[in-house]
């Protein structure tokens, strides 16, 4: 991936009515890093007079934890965030839970099959790793070597549905986005990432296909998320182009990480919002800490989401530091010690 000053942007669009989204994945508890992403996404949409959609991204059903979706809603409300559409309030784009939207994803998959844009792949993860020769990005699997590229969609009829996945023929050309946090970013999907999986042979979609279908159907105009998902923006641009959809604007935030520079996990102690809340921490204490360390407040003080909204301008993302936000054990201790 390179950063350039190119004036071209595959996802730059004329002004539209702003619609942002909060998209928890109920594969586990929400933590401090998630809270920062949700807060900034909500603030940025609301500052522009925009709407906010809540969507549960539970398509990775084997990893979904019972009760995690309900707990995520409790966490978001505790933070003082609200939304105009969602699984608990309804709306014109219902349902708002991905496992209830499978027919939409199937329609998109069938369109790609019809246009010969995807092919069945029987390679295992080990096969992909063994065949890979190109270097790969941190946090990403090696680019797919194209072992099954010779296949056509029709070849799938001779395969067991649980023995293959669908991969997209990616284009060997640079793509550029104007990221609202990082600025111009470019990547060649075919070279840097390779043909990627968009669905299982059973038709269950992968993240990339489901997100593109949902964001278009729900009219999402901006996507704010962690920068570990920056490569996904370029994968998704391939799909937006194939479907003829206008892509949203992207904003990729540096992650909240532990002292070792790695994303938050159990090894860093308990950073779950539900646990912090159970220990008596107030939401305004956490919001103030997040805002201060995101350069949105000049002093470290408690503040509610609605109060912070009144203090900011729509250009707030220009203030976000480029480096990851480190959460130290003493930060957690400080958060819990506040009245």
Q: Residue 295, Cβ neighbours under 10 Å: how many?
A: 12
pLDDT reading at 271 higher than 70: yes
Q: Residues 241, 308: contact at Cβ < 8 Å?
A: no
Across-strand partners of 176?
186
- The predicted model gives 249-270 an average pLDDT of 92
Q: Which residues of 62-73 are buried (b: 16+ CB within 10 A; e: fewer)?
A: eebeeebbebbb
Q: Please give the C-alpha separations between residue 58 and each of 68, 203, 326, in angstroms, as whole numbers.
A: 10, 15, 28
Percent of the chain with pLDDT over 70: 93
- The predicted model gives 153-160 an average pLDDT of 95
pLDDT band of 1, cuts 50, 70, 90: very low
Query: CATH number of 101-218+231-245: 3.90.1150.10, 3.40.50.620, 3.40.120.10, 3.40.50.10310?
Result: 3.40.50.620
- From the candidates 65, 266, 282, 295, give the one annotated as an active-site residue: 266
Query: CATH number of 28-89+254-339: 3.30.70.270, 3.40.50.620, 3.40.50.300, 3.40.1500.10?
Result: 3.40.50.620
H or E element at residue 331: helix 329-337
Cα torsion through 211, 217, 221, 223, rounded to 10: -20
Helix (H, G, I), strand (E, B) or coil at 125: helix
- pLDDT score for 13: 44
For every residue of 126-191, DSSP letters joined together read HHHHHH--S---TTSPPPP--TTTT--GGGGGGS-GGG-EEEE---SSEEEEEETTTEEEEEEHHH
Cα 28 from Cα 11, distance rounded (Å): 31
Same fold, 28-89+254-339 and 101-218+231-245: yes
282 is catalytic: no
Q: Residues 206, 98: contact at Cβ < 8 Å?
A: no
pLDDT band of 268, cuts 50, 70, 90: confident
Domains of the chain, by residue range, sit at 28-89+254-339, 101-218+231-245
- pLDDT score for 4: 36
Only one residue has tokens 């500052």, namely: 47
- pLDDT score for 135: 59
Average pLDDT score over the chain: 92
Q: Residues 290, 74: contact at Cβ < 8 Å?
A: no
Tens digits of per-residue pLDDT, 31-88? 999 999 999 999 999 999 999 999 999 998 788 999 999 999 999 999 999 999 999 9
């Amino acid at each position: 991936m390179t950063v350039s000053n190119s004036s071209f942007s595959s996802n730059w669009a004329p002004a539209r009515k702003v619609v942002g989204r909060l998209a928890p994945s109920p594969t586990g508890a929400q933590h401090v890093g998630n809270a920062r992403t949700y807060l900034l996404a909500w603030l940025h949409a609301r500052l522009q007079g925009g709407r906010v959609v809540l969507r549960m991204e539970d398509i990775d059903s084997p990893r979904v934890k019972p009760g995690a979706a309900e707990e995520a809603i409790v966490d978001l409300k505790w933070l003082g965030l609200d939304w105009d559409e969602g699984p608990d309030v309804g709306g014109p784009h219902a349902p708002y839970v991905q496992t209830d939207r499978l027919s939409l994803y199937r329609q998109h998959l069938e369109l790609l099959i019809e246009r010969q844009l995807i092919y069945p792949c029987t390679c295992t993860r080990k096969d992909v790793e063994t065949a890979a020769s190109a270097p790969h990005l941190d946090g990403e699997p090696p680019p797919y070597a194209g072992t099954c590229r010779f296949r056509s969609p029709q070849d799938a009829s001779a395969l067991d549905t649980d023995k293959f996945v669908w991969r997209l023929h990616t284009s060997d050309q640079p793509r550029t986005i104007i990221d609202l946090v990082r600025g111009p970013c470019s990547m060649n999907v075919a070279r840097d990432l390779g043909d990627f999986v968009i669905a299982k042979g059973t038709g269950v979609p992968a993240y990339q296909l489901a997100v593109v279908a949902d964001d278009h159907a729900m009219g999402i105009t901006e996507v704010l998320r962690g920068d570990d998902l920056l490569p996904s923006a370029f994968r998704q641009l391939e799909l937006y182009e194939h479907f003829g959809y206008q892509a949203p604007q992207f904003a990729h935030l540096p992650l909240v990480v532990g002292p070792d520079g790695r994303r938050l996990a159990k090894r860093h102690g308990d950073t779950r919002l539900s646990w912090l809340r159970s220990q008596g921490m107030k939401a305004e204490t956490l919001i103030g800490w997040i805002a201060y360390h995101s350069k949105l407040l000049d002093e470290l003080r408690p503040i509610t989401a609605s109060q912070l909204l009144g203090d900011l301008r729509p250009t707030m993302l220009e203030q976000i530091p480029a480096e990851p936000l480190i959460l130290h054990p003493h930060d957690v201790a400080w958060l819990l010690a506040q009245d």
